[in-house]
Structure 1
Amino acid sequence: MDVALPIRSVISTLDGPVLSVLARTTRPLTGREVQQLAGVGSPNGIRLALARLVHQGVVRADERAAAVFYQANRDHLAWPAVEILTSLRRTLLARLRAEFEAWQEQPTHASLFGSAARGDGDADSDIDILLVEPDHHDETIWLEQIDQLRQRVETWTGNQCQVYTLAVARLAEHVAAGDPLVDGWLRDSVALAGASLQDVVREVRRLG
């Protein structure tokens, strides 16, 4: 799955990014605005994609004096499918959170980080997950949960899942050393379970 534009898992043309842009707003947009918000494709490529979608009826075009404005046709029979495809990131986060809720050994903290969290990777990007271990847990169960998580994420997305797990004591060492890795985790962190990473790091600093 392309972690920047998940819709490309199914729609590899510029139609996918165009639909993603129009799905996020009810405001009519010019072709130039669609191209700027999509962040991919040339102006001509975006215009051609819009023309294809208008022809199929999925997008409405309103020709005005200054420009043509485009808007999603949410009444189209295909629109429910478009909504599913444009919300794949939210679906992934929901599945991950539900997965952690079912864990017997709950993490002190769990979050998504890296390119999948930032949304700036591609289909070759890993799904990176940070886990802070609970103080007292059954190691066998903990490792089984992680193995199952990896397998499920890879089945859901087609991407490799890398799980970085560490004890609070090990996290404290990273924090005390001023490890830039911690700054990256804090910057990218998309919370999935447990206490927020900011709170965990704050407590580590208070105790350290």
Structure 2
Amino acid sequence: MDLSFPYATLVPSLDGPVLQVLARSGKPLSGRQIQRIAERGSVPGVARVLDRLVDSGLVVAERTGAAILYSVNRDHLVWPAVDTIMSLREDLFGRIAATVRDWRPLPAKAVVFGSAARADGGPDSDIDILLVHGDDEPSSWADEQYALGQQIARWTGNHAQFVIVDERRWQDMIAEGDPLVRSVERDGVDLLALVPSA
């Protein structure tokens, strides 16, 4: 799965980026604004997509002066499915977090980093996960790591890549200015800080 554009698994056309922009926008946008934010397609191409989505009722068009502003219709019957598709990346992180939270002992740190965290990888990108443990790696972690890797592959089609270090080594890496530390600090998604879904 392409974690940069997870909706592309089901909506590979320009409709996906247009819907993503509208779904994440807190305000109505013009077609030109949508095209600029989506960084996909042309203004006429986006206009054709918007016309089709307006005709279906999923998008609402309102004339404001000379401009037409577009917003999603969250009351549309198909909206829950669209919302789910647009949230796949966040849902994946939630699933990984829920799995790791069940590990005993709990990792001192569990972070998705790299292209999955930055949302700039492709469909063949690994999902990189940093796990920091105490002095000795818990014996149960090998099985749990393997199982999580298998689950991630089933959930996404992507492979998981684990980086496992003890707390002392992690502190050394911080002191050394290791590039991995910079990547984790800059882009990392802290799995243990994610709020579990109800």
Cα distance in 1 for residues equivalent to 2:109 and 2:177:
20
Deviation at 1:138, TM superposition (A): 3.2
Is the 1:100–1:106 Cα contact (8 Å) retained in structure 2? yes
Q: Which runs of 4+ in 1 moved over 6 A?
A: none
- Aligned-residue CA RMSD (Å): 1.6
Please give the secondary structure, in 2, of the residue aligned with 1:162: strand
Deviation at 1:88, TM superposition (A): 1.0
Deviation at 1:37, TM superposition (A): 1.7
Is the 1:126–1:159 Cα contact (8 Å) retained in structure 2? yes
Q: Which runs of 5+ in 2 are unaligned?
A: 194-198
Equivalent runs, 1:54-93 vs 2, <5 Å: 54-93=54-93
Aligned to 1:7: 7
Cα distance in 2 for residues equivalent to 1:13 and 1:69:
22
Please give the secondary structure, in 1, of the residue aligned with 2:191: strand
**Change in 2 beyond 3 A, CA 1:172/1:93:** same
Cα distance in 1 for residues equivalent to 2:158 and 2:127:
6
Read off the aligned partner of 2:89 and give its amino acid letter.
Answer: R
Deviation at 1:177, TM superposition (A): 3.0
Read off the aligned partner of 2:142 and give its amino acid letter.
Answer: L
Is the 2:137–2:166 Cα contact (8 Å) retained in structure 1? no
Q: TM-score, normalised by structure 1?
A: 0.86
Cα distance in 2 for residues equivalent to 1:176 and 1:26:
41
Aligned to 1:186: 185
Please give the secondary structure, in 2, of the residue aligned with 1:122: coil
Is the 1:26–1:72 Cα contact (8 Å) retained in structure 2? no
Please give the secondary structure, in 1, of the residue aligned with 2:74: coil
Read off the aligned partner of 1:120 and give its amino acid letter.
Answer: D
Between 150-159 and 20-29, report the one with greater CA deviation: 20-29
Aligned to 2:112: 112
Aligned to 1:152: 151
Deviation at 1:191, TM superposition (A): 0.3
Aligned to 2:33: 33
Please give the secondary structure, in 2, of the residue aligned with 1:11: coil
Percent of matched pairs sharing the same residue:
45
Please give the secondary structure, in 2, of the residue aligned with 1:193: helix
Is the 2:108–2:134 Cα contact (8 Å) retained in structure 1? yes
Please give the secondary structure, in 2, of the residue aligned with 1:60: strand
Read off the aligned partner of 1:150 and give its amino acid letter.
Answer: G
Deviation at 1:52, TM superposition (A): 1.7
Is the 1:150–1:161 Cα contact (8 Å) retained in structure 2? yes
Cα distance in 1 for residues equivalent to 2:26 and 2:110:
34
Q: Which runs of 5+ in 1 are unaligned?
A: 195-208
Q: TM-score, normalised by structure 2?
A: 0.90
Aligned to 2:173: 174
Between 7-16 and 170-179, report the one with greater CA deviation: 170-179
Cα distance in 2 for residues equivalent to 1:186 and 1:26:
28
